Structure 1
Amino acid sequence: FALLAREQPQAHGRFLMPLAGLAVALKIDAEHFTAAFTSTQAHLRAVDGQESITVGTSRRTILEVLDDRRTLTEAVLSNAVEVVGSLEVLLRAHEGLIRYVHGAVRCAGFASLLHQLRLTCADAAHPALP
């Protein structure tokens, strides 16, 4: 979130608009955390049960969607991405995600984050021998 704010401040502001007041519990592989949003910032915190929606997936699925090997809709329908929340909140979260991606593709620094994600997925697919 800080990278988007730094490199594309206008996109960061647009991204936050539909998300203000929401807290999203994210379960990505073994990691569980909350992304909470105000009208001016996004921050991460521990899951506390006060979240508006819950999203669960894997790093591998995130890469499949980013690499256009699977659409987000396909991932949701196949339960590779599990989303729980009210329709109104899910629509706001979807709009925020679309705005985030529109800003992220314009950030030079996101290439490094994507590279790190690829390395993490590769390491998980080929764990070191004991």
Structure 2
Amino acid sequence: MEFLEHGRAVLAAQPFSQMVGAELTRFVPGEAEIALPVTDQLKQQNGFVHGGVLAYLADTALTFAGGSVLKGVLTSEIKVNYTRPGLGQRLIARASVLSHGKTQAVCRCDIFALQDGAEKLCAAAQGTIVKVSLPD
């Protein structure tokens, strides 16, 4: 199965990802991009995208990037810096592997809000993705 097609099948198997409308738009070894439409259900009381949604995007994109170089992974840790409110029509998370060995990958992710055709950085994240033995 093609890399992107396989990644999309994995994302489609995640009920939460489906609920928020996430889409894997790029997936190559060492990199992943996930986008989702901004809807009213994803906003907090001031009209910004909720920080939990940005953290979800970072976590998922980081794990996909790490999983592209290590098979069978989970997030071990993540740190998210919010740089500006998430405002716009669409969010785009771009993650890449900074370094990896046989059992872990350190990855970074930038999340952009697309508003009226312009991308604005709204969060930056880093995480450690680890190889695990998943139960059958």
Q: TM-score, normalising length from structure 1?
A: 0.26
Q: Which has the higher strand share?
A: 2
Q: TM-score, normalising length from structure 2?
A: 0.25
Higher Rg of the two aligned structures: 1
Q: Which has the higher helix share?
A: 1
